[in-house]
Amino acid sequence: MMRKKYVFMVIALISILSCDPGKEPTEISSPNGQLTVSFNLNSDGQPYYRVQHDNKLVIDSSYLGFEFTDAPALGSNLKLIQATKKSFDETWQMPWGEQLDVVNRYEELAVELEEQNTSNRKVRVVFRVYDDGLGFRYEFPEQEGWQTALIAEEQTQFKLTEDYKTFWIPGDWDIYEHLYNTTAFSEIDALAKRNHPNLAQTYIPNNAVNTPVTMVGKNGLHLSFHEAALVDYSDMTLGIDADNLRMTSILVGSENREHKVECELPFHTPWRTIQITENAPGLIESNLIVNLNEPNKIGDVSWFKPMKYTGVLWEMHLGKSSWDYGMEQVNGNWTDTGKAHGRHGATTENVKRFIDFSAANNIGGVLVEGWNTGWERWIGFPDREGVFDFLTPYPDYDINEVTRYAREKGVEIIMHHETSAATETYTKQMDSAYGLMQYYGMHAVKSGYVGKILPDGEYHHGQYMVDHYNMAVEKAAKYQVAVNAHEPIKATGLRRTYPNAVSREGLRGQEFNAWSIEKGNPSEHLPIVAFTRMLAGPIDFTPGIFNIKFDEYRGDSQVNTTLAQQLALYVVIYSPVQMAADLVEHYEANPEPLQFIRDVGVDWQQSKVLNGEVGDYVTIARQERDTGNWFLGAITDENERELKIDLDFLDENVSYTARIYRDGDNAHWDDNPLDLVIEEIKLNSSSELTLKLAAGGGVAISMIKD
Ligand code: NOJ
Ligand code: CA
């Protein structure tokens, strides 16, 4: 793989301004001048900020502060000691990503505040203003008499100036796998989303939303609220004050202690981010979240190669095979018989089928779920510690033979660690489990955290788990292992710092189409996800289901898209590990659409979002690294539509052979999902195309240089 040399260019200009309180507010504008953030203190010494876009107020006076369990609140009687401004401009390179070069250009304002009473505590607030949004964080410097901050709550406000159309999921402390809701901001009711029957864990204590939460204004302004660089802190949900059009941070807590976050000084919080763009595509093209993270800390990661993969997974979700080896119904009760029941999916023989299929179809990996002992006591068992074993295969899985065979065929086995959220067992075995992978030359693990967190009282999104997930990524890097976590903490751009954090779930994935009570994800799901969850980072959605209705397995469920849309997802939904999730036999029966999966890239030189509206449709074109070939995907919700696109992004003076995989004239996600037309034409940079998408449909195009 071609890797250009790291080009690193930094220009920084620093100026220090002394400020008297009471004077003009301290202001800073984005490099293009469109976005302005102003900071000020009111007469009680309470800090607040405002944001303007083109001189229009977008965030009105929003106050900042903290509550502690062992000390008075911090957020009043503050004095501005000093304000520092800085310009920054660099271009850094993604080792893998939606693009190679990333411009990181911002104006920074740092304000130093000190309490004007007996305690004299100090805090800095740092704002970074980009052309496509802003981030700010709190920095607590080392100071006398204050070693440990026991944070009861962070009080960061976001005061809106309009009752935005909002795309949201509830502020669940335990899972992000909810359907998106589309309502006016003032109509958000997260508490109505409690107790979802398909979730192995869920806890929604407040009327709050999780992030990214995306909003669309009447004049077309798009806002998305999230956070960047979530390290040693809790996930921030946003509490909804409908009457005042205001959101206030609510950190995820724990039942085991009063405080929500514990940090030793000096420390800083994650960045609180607001992406602000004039249209929906701008949100996807924004690099704000990764830019607010620190550069690569783990050095060379060339041992990880972006790849497509198949695997033993969908057959379990369809009920064709099982993860476990010996669970049987005995007198109506599920019992571990210790004997093979014959439905176990991860057998040497079955995995070899996937290896052969991957090798024959330009697919780099095979994921093997259910290979190790412990699946007899995972979901729903309270005593899950000490059950899963990440070193011991079931008797019908010959790990030596499988890895030998895979190597011979040029395919990599992807490891699977379902922890069942029994964190202590996983932590204890981490070194030996990653060591085993290194021994077999495996460079990627999919981890899973299904169920309520053990120890009891912790939540998936609290500080305890944030530390656990980050520790796993850091440790894995030492064994040259890349991590794709399911039931993860949300992505906050840490892939810049730890490029081995390659992908994650953290949304309702394809699996819900196999078994959820709502009969899958509605057609609007992914056109919302592209503008919400995907802003956070790569998604392991597991696309590519060809047998859309799978009546022979689960007659009452189905995928709610056309086949053409399943192909388009390889381009629209970004991930450097991209599954071809369906069964080998379903692909072998459909060689024509399979050709797109064989051809499509997974690592990109550049990406262009050609059009889109949140919740309706989106079209993305991506250029593959190394080959320079282009791939395009367009998807729509339950409405059919026509989209005109201009191919002026193609290289000039180059002719491309394009293969178009589109919905047939009678295609429809429910009535006729398999109606697919494949056409081959020549294209160049002056070509224009009209894409016709069926209800729940899509278009996928490969454009290969002649
Ligand atoms: C949930 C994951 O999202 C899914 O991909 C996996 O197959 C199961 N857990 C079992 O680990
Ligand atoms: Ca899941």
pLDDT, one tens digit per residue, over 322-345 is 999 998 888 888 888 889 999 999
Residue 52 placed within a domain: yes
Residues 526 and 630 in one domain: yes
Nearest to 697 by CA among 572, 533, 535, 554: 572
Distance CA 186, CA 205 (A): 19
15 — pLDDT class (breaks 50, 70, 90): low
Kindly report the average pLDDT of the chain as a whole number.
96
Q: Identify the residues whose C-beta falls under 6 Å from ligand 1.
A: 313, 369, 418, 448, 450, 486, 505, 509, 511
Q: What's the CATH number where 624 sits? A: 3.20.20.70
Segment 523-544 shows an average pLDDT of 98
Write out the residue range of the structural domain in which residue 403 sits.
303-506
Residues 500 and 513 in one domain: no
Question: So what's the pLDDT on residue 25?
Answer: 63
- What is the number of the ligand 1 atom nearest to the C-alpha of 487? 3
Segment 254-271 shows an average pLDDT of 98
Partners of 642 in beta bridges:
692
Distance CA 455, CA 430 (A): 17
Nearest to 47 by CA among 15, 81, 71: 81
Domain end marker among 506, 532, 566: 506
Read off the pLDDT of residues 60-93 as tens digits, 9 standing for 90 and up. 999 999 999 999 999 999 999 999 999 999 999 9
Residues 489 and 513 in one domain: no
Question: So what's the pLDDT on residue 22?
Answer: 44
- Judged against a pLDDT cut of 70, whether residue 23 lies above it is answered with no
Residues 330 and 204 in one domain: no
Q: Which two tokens stand for residue 241?
A: 């004050």
Nearest to 503 by CA among 540, 464, 557: 540
Which pTM was predicted?
A: 0.96
24 — pLDDT class (breaks 50, 70, 90): low
Three-state SS annotation for 486-526: CCCCCCCCCCCCCCCEEEECCCCCCHHHHHCCCCCCCCCHH
638 is catalytic: no
- What is the number of the ligand 1 atom nearest to the C-alpha of 317? 7
- Judged against a pLDDT cut of 60, whether residue 17 lies above it is answered with no
Give me ligand 1 centre to Cα 448, in Å: 6
Segment 594-611 shows an average pLDDT of 98
- Judged against a pLDDT cut of 70, whether residue 303 lies above it is answered with yes
Give me ligand 1 centre to Cα 154, in Å: 33
238 — pLDDT class (breaks 50, 70, 90): very high
Question: So what's the pLDDT on residue 653?
Answer: 94
Amino acid letter, 586: H
- Judged against a pLDDT cut of 50, whether residue 3 lies above it is answered with no
Instruction: Give, for ligand 1, the residue of 376, 418, 579 to mutate: max count of ligand atoms closer than 8 Å to Cβ.
Output: 418
Q: What percent of the chain has pLDDT over 70?
A: 96
Domain end marker among 450, 473, 506: 506
Residue 406 placed within a domain: yes
- What is the number of the ligand 1 atom nearest to the C-alpha of 323? 10
Residue 427 placed within a domain: yes
Closest-approaching ligand to the CA atom of 379: 1
Give me ligand 1 centre to Cα 676, in Å: 30
> Of all protein residues, whose CA lies closest to atom 3 belonging to ligand 1?
486
Give me ligand 1 centre to Cα 119, in Å: 50
Question: So what's the pLDDT on residue 12?
Answer: 47
Residues 514 and 500 in one domain: no
Segment 447-457 shows an average pLDDT of 98
Residue 254 placed within a domain: yes
Question: So what's the pLDDT on residue 317?
Answer: 98
- Judged against a pLDDT cut of 80, whether residue 2 lies above it is answered with no
Question: So what's the pLDDT on residue 5?
Answer: 39
Instruction: Give, for ligand 1, the residue of 511, 512, 541, 579 to mutate: max count of ligand atoms closer than 8 Å to Cβ.
Output: 511
Question: So what's the pLDDT on residue 21?
Answer: 43
The residue annotated as part of the active site, out of 108, 511, 524, 624, is 511
Residues 657 and 543 in one domain: yes
Domain end marker among 257, 291, 325: 291
The tally of domains found in the chain comes to 3
Give me ligand 2 centre to Cα 322, in Å: 16
> Of all protein residues, whose CA lies closest to atom 11 belonging to ligand 1?
418
Closest-approaching ligand to the CA atom of 508: 2
Question: So what's the pLDDT on residue 9?
Answer: 44
Q: What's the CATH number where 62 sits? A: 2.70.98.10
Residues 313 and 164 in one domain: no
Read off the pLDDT of residues 360-390 as tens digits, 9 standing for 90 and up. 999 999 999 999 999 999 998 999 999 999 9
Segment 505-532 shows an average pLDDT of 97
Give me ligand 1 centre to Cα 449, in Å: 8
Residues 322 and 277 in one domain: no
Residues 68 and 151 in one domain: yes
Residues 396 and 519 in one domain: no
692 — pLDDT class (breaks 50, 70, 90): very high
Residues 199 and 323 in one domain: no
Residue 453 placed within a domain: yes
Residues 89 and 168 in one domain: yes
* Environment of ion ligand 2 (residues, CB < 5 A): 486
Residue 6 placed within a domain: no
Between 98-107, 194-203, 228-237, 628-637, the lowest mean confidence (pLDDT) is in 194-203
Nearest to 193 by CA among 162, 166, 217, 172: 172
Closest-approaching ligand to the CA atom of 177: 2
Give me ligand 2 centre to Cα 467, in Å: 20
User: Residue 494 contacts by C-beta under 8 Å, 6 or more apart in sequence?
Assistant: 229, 230, 231, 293, 470, 473, 501
> Of all protein residues, whose CA lies closest to atom 2 belonging to ligand 1?
486
Residue 5 placed within a domain: no
Partners of 209 in beta bridges:
170, 238
Residue 7 placed within a domain: no
Q: Is 130 helix (H, G, I), strand (E, B) or coil?
A: strand
- What is the number of the ligand 1 atom nearest to the C-alpha of 416? 11
Question: So what's the pLDDT on residue 197?
Answer: 87
Question: So what's the pLDDT on residue 170?
Answer: 98
Distance CA 477, CA 297 (A): 10
Closest-approaching ligand to the CA atom of 448: 1
- What is the number of the ligand 1 atom nearest to the C-alpha of 418? 11
Sheet holding 698-705, edge to edge: 604-613, 617-624, 630-636, 698-705, 656-663, 676-683
